[in-house]
Amino acid sequence: MLPLEFKQQMQEILGEDEYQKFLKSYELSPNKGIRANRLKIDRDQLKELLPEIFEAQDIPWTPDGIYINPEERPGKQPGYYTGLYYPQEPSAMTPAQALDVEEGDLILDLCAAPGGKSTQIASKLGDNGSLIFNEIVKNRVGILAENVERMGIKNAVILNEHPERLIKNFKERFDKILVDAPCSGEGMFRKDSAVIDEYSPDRPESCSVKQSKILETVDKLLKPGGEIVYSTCTFSPLENELVIQDFLDKYDYELLDTGLEGINDVKVNIPNVRSEILEKTTRIWPQVNEGEGHFVAKLKKGGMPGRIKKNKNRNTNLKRAGKKDLTDYNNFRSKYIPEVDYRNLYIYQDKLINLPEAIGPEDLAGLKVHSAGLELGEFKKNRFEPSHSLAMSLKKDEFTNTYELSEDELWSYLKGEELKPETVLDRGWVLLCYDGYPVGFGKYSGTIKNKYPKGLRIYKK
Ligand SMILES: C[S@@+](CC[C@H](N)C(=O)[O-])C[C@H]1O[C@@H](n2cnc3c(N)ncnc32)[C@H](O)[C@@H]1O
């Protein structure tokens, strides 16, 4: 049952006719989508690989999104485990779509978990650029990191910080920032009735205070001339247009058109909001679009980018990897990944990490770092053991010893079982692939010893 106060608010915003259509949309089931991970595959290639049961149809507002049959479970398909796509609510694909991602950018996703939009930004950015994904809630960081790893992202640091704590290290550093703000979630009522249970009529007001505070912090983190995309999955003007209007009144920003295409608009009645804000921001209405409620705004900071002051922190646990430290890794590299090169190598405890190009160890000093870029592997006694993250970030032809799994073998592998291939392979590390895409490592010596991380193993299909 929709909350009464929510219904009254929607009636005021939409007017009686449109409100009735809006209410009717709650009789339909929510749409389900997946988004192609461009780091591995594009939408057309993905559609060819997907089973027919998906009934794949393009989502109009992103070049990567596909609607799928709502009965299907995309998290139970091989392509999920090879990181070819991310299951994502279709409207949730708009904020990262609105963010202008350019080669070489340093981008912050401030409210990142579980990582739908983070992984979308990474997919748009490719390898040339640097990403910081931050999540304030500690127990949400694990799932974010898991998604980042599965999608094969190489250039992201994952932090678990309160936004304000980032200012010391990253003052006016970011080219772009996504603020997918914590909100009252009114747009998710159809998809998830638990959100209705958590709702109270004063939620929009309290959320808007938090949202304005977050934007104040974001201003300090963004370069002059940089851009913010602000989004919520709620309908309340208090958390959407009014947060943006208030911010524009206080700070030197220009409101940009979101540039989103393929979205059907609805005329709304929101008192005390300037027409420019209604025109340039985007709302997704479920009665005229195949997606849940969402709001997106895009802002450009005034001023010209100046010189970035280098961070002087020295208190860091990351040590630059010297030639001597790298002997075992270099042996591994020349045998298995001779064409792959990492240039920003650091050691943390026994782990070898490649930091994103624009990030130095001093940038991470004093912060709660969950992962500092791509973990390549671990130094063990006289040998280097590659990590699962490395496996997921590679292309099949970048590894010299690979084995293509049958579907039965894939499920056995994901369960943690040993494999007994009929063909003879080269002894040592082997990159296991399905449909030509890596799913993890094994180690061959007559049989394939399973190196799929214990925490990721599945016990039934
Ligand atoms: C809408 S969710 C983010 C969803 C995510 N962007 C995605 O696409 O998967 C909002 C996130 O903001 C976090 N959050 C809550 N309070 C916050 C605060 N004061 N500052 C920053 N983030 C906060 C929540 O833990 C939550 O993960």
Find out whether the beta carbon of 35 lies less than 6 Å from any atom of ligand 1. no
Handedness of CA 435, 439, 445, 446 (dihedral sign): negative
pLDDT the model gives residue 110:
98
Find out whether the beta carbon of 172 lies less than 6 Å from any atom of ligand 1. no
Distance CA 182, CA 86 (A): 21
Going from the Cα of 188 to the center of ligand 1, the distance in angstroms, rounded, reads 15
Going from the Cα of 9 to the center of ligand 1, the distance in angstroms, rounded, reads 24
pLDDT the model gives residue 459:
80
Going from the Cα of 311 to the center of ligand 1, the distance in angstroms, rounded, reads 27
Which residue among 118, 119, 136 has the greatest number of ligand 1 atoms within 8 angstroms of its CB, and so is best to mutate?
Answer: 136
pLDDT the model gives residue 52:
74
Find out whether the beta carbon of 7 lies less than 6 Å from any atom of ligand 1. no
The answer to whether residues 277 and 245 touch, using CB atoms and an 8 Å cutoff, is yes
Find out whether the beta carbon of 180 lies less than 6 Å from any atom of ligand 1. yes
Domains along the sequence of the chain with CATH:
4-30+89-301 (3.40.50.150), 31-88 (3.30.70.1170), 395-461 (3.10.450.720)
Q: Letter for the amino acid at 343?
A: R
Distance CA 115, CA 142 (A): 10
Phi-psi region of 104 (alpha: psi -120 to 50; beta: other; left: phi over 0): left
Distance CA 461, CA 459 (A): 7
- The candidate with the shortest Cα–Cα distance to 211, out of 183, 172, 176, 249, is 183
In Å, what is the CA distance from 240 to each residue of 143, 272, 282? Answer: 27, 13, 10
pLDDT the model gives residue 315:
67
* Whether residue 114 has a cis bond before it, omega within 30° of 0: yes
Distance CA 340, CA 319 (A): 22
**Along the 461 residues of the chain, how does pLDDT read in single tens digits?**
899 999 999 999 999 999 999 999 999 999 999 999 999 999 999 999 987 767 789 999 999 999 999 888 999 999 999 999 999 999 999 999 999 999 999 999 999 999 999 999 999 999 999 999 999 999 999 999 999 999 999 999 999 999 999 999 999 999 999 999 999 999 999 999 899 999 999 999 999 999 999 999 999 999 999 999 999 999 999 999 999 999 999 999 999 999 999 999 999 999 999 999 999 999 999 999 999 999 999 999 999 877 777 777 776 789 999 999 999 999 999 999 999 999 999 999 999 999 999 999 999 999 999 999 999 999 999 999 999 999 999 999 999 999 999 999 999 999 999 999 999 999 999 999 999 999 999 999 999 999 999 999 998 55
The answer to whether residues 134 and 113 touch, using CB atoms and an 8 Å cutoff, is no
Distance CA 146, CA 444 (A): 26
- Which residues, listed in sequence order, are joined to residue 130 by a DSSP beta bridge? 106
Contacts 24+ apart (CB under 8 A), 441-450: 441/386, 441/388, 441/391, 442/403, 442/413, 444/401, 444/403, 447/418, 447/419, 447/420, 447/421, 448/403, 448/418, 448/419, 448/420, 448/421, 449/418, 450/413, 450/416, 450/417, 450/418, 450/419
Going from the Cα of 223 to the center of ligand 1, the distance in angstroms, rounded, reads 22
Find out whether the beta carbon of 117 lies less than 6 Å from any atom of ligand 1. yes
Which residue among 111, 167, 211 has the greatest number of ligand 1 atoms within 8 angstroms of its CB, and so is best to mutate?
Answer: 111
R_g of the chain, CA atoms, integer Å: 23
Going from the Cα of 112 to the center of ligand 1, the distance in angstroms, rounded, reads 6
Active site amino acids: 233
Find out whether the beta carbon of 219 lies less than 6 Å from any atom of ligand 1. no
Q: Whose CA is nearest to atom 1 of ligand 1?
A: 182
The answer to whether residues 282 and 263 touch, using CB atoms and an 8 Å cutoff, is yes
pTM for this one? 0.97
Going from the Cα of 182 to the center of ligand 1, the distance in angstroms, rounded, reads 5
- The candidate with the shortest Cα–Cα distance to 294, out of 334, 331, 260, is 260
Which atom of ligand 1 sits closest to the CA of residue 115?
Answer: 9
